[in-house]
Amino acid sequence: VAGKRQTKVEEKEKFSREAVAYLDHLYRVARYLTEEPDEAQDLVQEAYVRALGSYKQFTPGSNMKAWLTRILYNFFFDHYRQKKRWISVDDSSTAEKYVSDYWEKVAGENPGPEGYVLASELTTKITDALRKIPEEFRLPVVMIDMGDFSYAETAEILSCPIGTIRSRLSRGRRLVHSHLKAYVGIEKGREKK
């Protein structure tokens, strides 16, 4: 019996070590879910504890990164925010005032030399822009562009239809872009890196 218990402890520890490989990714997601860095750290730590508590539900060989992300996301909404998981918003109103601006200007705008920016500055600008946009548009961007998840994986994590993910991702990217209006000409900025 003692041997079995020891094996179980070792099994759990092995699982923890594999899960820790995704720490950077989970912290990234948590930073865009929470307001404060400390809150993000607490969220990640508790998500790991929760994941370990239900590690037997994880199928070896399946996508551990997506599984952990889903646990973190669910935990955030269960414990950090007492509100509906996926806020129902009128997709045609909240974002439109930002988006139309982008869509109208993106084609013909010439950024001029002052519009170009060094990559490090652009990184900060992108991070700031992501924080400014509504959460329902931010999360698909974080999951797909930062987390390298597919639409289907993101839909599973956020408990949302794939079509909604696609439309919100599209709007999310345009919102980010609209906040970077002064920095259009991204490619030229990269060349100066």
Which one, 85 or 190, has the nearer CB to other proteins? 190
Which one, 83 or 117, has the nearer CB to other proteins? 117
- CA–CA separation, 130 and 78 (whole Å): 23
The alpha carbon of residue 160 and the mean position of all alpha carbons in its chain are separated, in whole angstroms, by: 15
Residue 175 in tokens: 């919102």
Residue 12: CB minimum distance to other proteins, A: 8
Which one, 87 or 152, has the nearer CB to other proteins? 152
The backbone torsions φ and ψ at residue 177, rounded to the nearest 5 degrees and listed phi first, read -60, -40
- Residue 136 to residues 15, 69, 142, 171: CA-CA distances in angstroms? 31, 16, 11, 10
Residue 83: CB minimum distance to other proteins, A: 26
- CA–CA separation, 37 and 42 (whole Å): 9
Chain contacts with other proteins (rule: CB under 8 A): 1-2, 5-6, 9, 13, 16-18, 20-28, 31, 37, 41, 44-45, 48-49, 52, 65, 103, 106-107, 119, 122-123, 126-127, 130, 141, 144-148, 150-151, 166-167, 169-170, 173-174, 176-177, 180, 184, 186-187, 190
The alpha carbon of residue 131 and the mean position of all alpha carbons in its chain are separated, in whole angstroms, by: 11
Q: Are 93 and 132 in contact (CB under 8 A)?
A: no
Residue 27: CB minimum distance to other proteins, A: 4
Which one, 82 or 110, has the nearer CB to other proteins? 110
Which residues fall within 8 angstroms of residue 41, CB to CB, at 6 or more apart?
27, 30
Residue 178: CB minimum distance to other proteins, A: 11
Residue 85: CB minimum distance to other proteins, A: 23
Compute the chain's Rg from CA coordinates: 20
Which one, 83 or 179, has the nearer CB to other proteins? 179
